[in-house]
Amino acid sequence: MAETTAQRLAQSLAVAKMYYQSDQSQSQIAHQLGISRPTVSRLLQFAREQGLVRIQIVDPVQDVQTLERALTQTYHVEVHVVPTQLTVASELLNTVGQYAAHYLEEIVAEHDIIGIGWGKTIYAIGSNLQPDTLTGVEVIQLKGSVSYATEHTYAYESIDAFANAFHAVPQYLPLPVIFDHQQTKELVEAERHIQYLLELGRKANIAIYSVGTVRNSALVFQLEYLQEREKSFLQAHA
């Protein structure tokens, strides 16, 4: 009896490897081994019952819903998680951009003021927006768009994409995001047009920005605003 069971386990294992690993059909396996197709089916069933084969179904929607609930309960905010398990790495940013753009299109109403940051994620959202028929929507940059470095921030492309989608005049904030001297910052902020832009940003009822990182690859670290000691401090404390 033990020998028969061992033989059946060995045969089930062989059939399972041909079916699941070599991607052969049950008919091909039956012909190759000289057994009937029902026998192949029974051996595959036996392999599953004995734990030789484990079938795992990955449901990206279910996984996302579970994570959304956990994050919502933990942080007490509305959370949307984008399913990306089946998305190739090169398309991750665009997938998130599509989802966020669709969500934004659902919540924007006439005369809303949309404040945006800049960067690849914001641009991915803007480039996925579809032209809307709403009127009176305004789009304003929430942080300065001037950079000392040649690193691409997508600042102007982003606000232009948002403004085109909502038929608005893009309100650029032509300032560096970080000033070298406080006195310079205060003088610039005293200028009437800059005051208007800053106040418009404060009135924005929709703000779109991405959460930064303190990894060495962080965009803000590439813009030549911060000295090495300042970067080290942020990485140690942020």
DSSP string covering the chain: -HHHHHHHHHHHHHHHIIIIIS---HHHHHHHHT--HHHHHHHHHHHHHTTS-------HHHHHHHHHHHHHHHH-S-------TTS-GGGHHHHHHHHHHHHHHHH--TT-EEEE--SHHHHHHHTTPPP----S-EEEESS--B-SSS----HHHHHHHHHHHTT--EE---SBSS-S-HHHHHHHHTSHHHHHHHHHHHH-SEEE------STT-GGGGTT-S-HHHHHHHHHH-
Q: Decide if pLDDT at 213 tops 60.
A: yes
* Claim to verify: residue 133 and residue 214 sit in the same structural domain: yes
* Claim to verify: residue 70 and residue 13 sit in the same structural domain: no
Mind listing the pLDDT tens digit for each residue in 96-117? 999 999 999 999 999 999 999 9
CATH for 161: 3.40.50.1360
* Claim to verify: residue 30 and residue 123 sit in the same structural domain: no
> What average pLDDT does the structure give for the chain?
89
* Claim to verify: residue 121 and residue 186 sit in the same structural domain: yes
* Claim to verify: residue 79 and residue 114 sit in the same structural domain: no
* Claim to verify: residue 144 and residue 203 sit in the same structural domain: yes
* Claim to verify: residue 16 and residue 63 sit in the same structural domain: no
* Claim to verify: residue 79 and residue 184 sit in the same structural domain: no
* Claim to verify: residue 77 and residue 127 sit in the same structural domain: no
Quote the domain boundaries for residue 126.
Answer: 89-237
Mind listing the pLDDT tens digit for each residue in 112-153? 999 999 989 999 999 999 998 899 999 999 998 877 666 678
